[in-house]
């Protein structure tokens, strides 16, 4: 919080959820891969829109 506002750091951290979802779907062949990736993308877009607002 000293170096950057939390509203700018939080969206960057949330991208790890998207990366983990894609890796699970591609590398581990987990089920419902497309649905999980779409849900993760929507969640990341929501966090980014909150941070931008």
Dist CA 30 CA 4 (whole Å)? 36
Residue 44 has pLDDT above 60, yes or no: yes
Residue 2 has pLDDT above 70, yes or no: no
**CA distance readout (Å), 44 to 4, 15, 18, 28:** 19, 6, 7, 22
Residue 3 has pLDDT above 60, yes or no: yes
38: confidence class by pLDDT, cuts 50, 70, 90: confident
Residue 7 confidence (pLDDT): 66
Q: What radius of gyration do the chain's Cα atoms show?
A: 13
């Amino acid at each position: 919080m000293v170096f950057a506002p939390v509203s700018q750091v939080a969206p960057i951290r949330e991208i790890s959820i998207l990366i983990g979802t894609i890796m699970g779907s591609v590398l581990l062949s987990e089920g419902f891969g497309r649905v999980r990736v779409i849900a993760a993308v929507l969640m990341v877009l929501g966090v980014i829109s909150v941070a931008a607002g």
